[in-house]
């Protein structure tokens, strides 16, 4: 009971900071543009929405840098799905390599919302994954860090009261991840998968619904749909106010507009044994009931539950990464047989 209270208190403290001191700008959904997102044909074929059209963009690699535990290279490319913000349209990813060839599994890591920098991600996620026998691509998600539009903080307008802009930002992220999968295959990697947590977990789930060429998909600290987090948790308080102003604070309307952002409304392209769902029982941002809904929708055999909240699950990811690495290498062993 004391541990459950502690996990809940940490979540509430972090949520309180974000909704109090990181209010962000008020964005609104204009006219009826959101209705095109509710087209049933998009749910029937989400690849139409998340299409990687045309040829693979040109990747510009930077110089090779070395750390005590790996070497890395920065990659940049023009986003295949541009947004009306020049800063957001130059996609970036950091490529970490622990080996000299391409026989290691490659993990595309989707980070969480509103990170101020990726140094801690490298320290607590990337280092352990690379030392655990994988190479890794760490993309900067749209609207984050150096991709944040001028005058906004990192991640501020990735999710907002403008439901169309939110959908387009998610679309940009998934399309760019698809480009990274294709690029990695061209380099010679035969095992390419995704691991996402929190916001990155939503994106990992969406990628698994449109990308057949994944070897595995691991989703941590996410729930069945974005509307649940915004409507049913304290974290969504400010966005609910913005949605109310423009007439979008209506569950049926919002769930229809954001259905294409909800992995549980779609179907995975991977066999079930290549999917792993990890969740905290005491998560105040991604409710356990919504995680179970996702499990039922995808007919997953189980969820790997942890006695954690949202932030205690993801800021202390030792058990999550141990389970994830074992899962990744089991996929490799299965393919080898």
Using one digit for the tens of pLDDT, what is the confidence trace for 231-282? 999 999 999 999 999 999 999 999 999 999 999 999 999 999 999 999 999 9
Residues contacting residue 150 through CB under 8 Å, at least 6 positions apart: 87
Output the DSSP codes for 209-247: HH-TT-SEEEEES--S-HHHHHHHSGGGHHHHHHHHHTT
Angle subtended at Cα 268 by Cα 91 and Cα 166, rounded to the nearest 5 degrees: 40
- The pLDDT mean for the chain works out to 93
Please calculate the CA angle 88-195-300 and round it to the nearest 5 degrees: 125
Tens of pLDDT, residues 100-135: 789 999 999 999 998 989 999 999 999 999 999 999
Percent pLDDT > 90 in the chain is 84
- Dist CA 75 CA 290 (whole Å): 36
CB-based burial label for 323 (10 Å; 0-12, 13-18, 19+):
middle
pLDDT for residue 336 is more than 60: no
Whether the per-residue pLDDT at 147 is higher than 50: the answer is yes
**Residues 294, 277 contacting (CB under 8 angstroms):** yes
Q: Are 295 and 303 in contact (CB under 8 A)?
A: yes
Q: How many CB atoms lie within 10 A of CB 187?
A: 12
pLDDT at 333: 62
Q: List the structure tokens of 173.
A: 């992220």
In this predicted model, what pLDDT tens digit does every residue of 195-242 receive, in sequence order? 999 999 999 999 999 999 999 999 999 999 999 999 999 999 999 999
Q: pTM of this prediction?
A: 0.96
Q: What are 283-315's pLDDT values in tens digits?
A: 999 999 999 999 999 999 999 999 999 999 999
Number of helical H runs and strand E runs in the chain: 12, 9
User: What is the set of domains in the chain, with CATH numbers?
Assistant: 2-23+56-336 (3.40.50.1820)
Q: What would the pLDDT profile of 6-45 be if each residue is shown by its tens digit? A: 899 899 999 888 877 666 667 889 889 999 999 999 999 9
Query: What's phi and psi for 142, nearest 5 deg?
Result: -55, 145
């Amino acid at each position: 009971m004391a541990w459950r209270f502690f996990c809940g208190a940490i979540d509430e403290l972090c949520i309180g900071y974000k909704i109090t001191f990181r209010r962000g700008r008020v964005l609104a959904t204009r006219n009826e543009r959101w209705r095109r997102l509710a087209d049933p044909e998009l749910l029937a074929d989400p690849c139409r929405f998340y299409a990687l059209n045309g040829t693979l963009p040109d990747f510009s690699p930077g110089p090779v840098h070395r750390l005590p535990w790996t070497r890395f290279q920065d990659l940049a490319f023009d986003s295949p799905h541009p947004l009306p913000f020049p800063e957001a349209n130059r996609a970036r990813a950091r490529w970490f390599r622990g080996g000299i060839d391409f026989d290691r599994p490659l993990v595309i890591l989707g980070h969480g919302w509103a990170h101020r920098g990726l140094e801690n991600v490298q320290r607590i996620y990337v280092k352990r994954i690379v030392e655990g026998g994988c190479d890794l691509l760490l993309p900067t998600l749209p609207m984050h860090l150096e991709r944040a539009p001028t005058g906004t903080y990192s991640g501020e307008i990735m999710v907002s009261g403008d439901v169309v802009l939110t959908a387009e930002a998610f679309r940009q992220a998934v399309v760019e991840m698809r480009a990274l999968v294709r690029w990695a295959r061209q380099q010679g990697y035969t095992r390419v998968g995704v691991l996402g947590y929190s916001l990155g977990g939503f994106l990992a789930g969406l990628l698994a619904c449109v990308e057949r060429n994944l070897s595995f998909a691991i989703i941590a600290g996410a729930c069945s749909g974005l509307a649940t987090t915004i409507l049913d948790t304290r974290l969504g308080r400010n966005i609910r106010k913005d949605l109310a102003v423009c007439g979008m604070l209506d569950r049926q309307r919002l769930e229809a507009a954001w259905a294409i952002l909800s992995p549980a409304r779609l179907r995975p392209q991977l066999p079930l044994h290549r999917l792993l769902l990890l969740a905290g029982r005491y998560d105040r941002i991604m409710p356990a009931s919504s995680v179970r809904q996702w499990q039922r929708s995808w007919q997953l055999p189980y969820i790997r539950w942890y006695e954690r909240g949202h932030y205690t699950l993801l800021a202390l990811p030792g058990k999550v990464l141990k389970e994830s690495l074992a899962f990744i290498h089991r996929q490799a062993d299965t393919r080898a047989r």
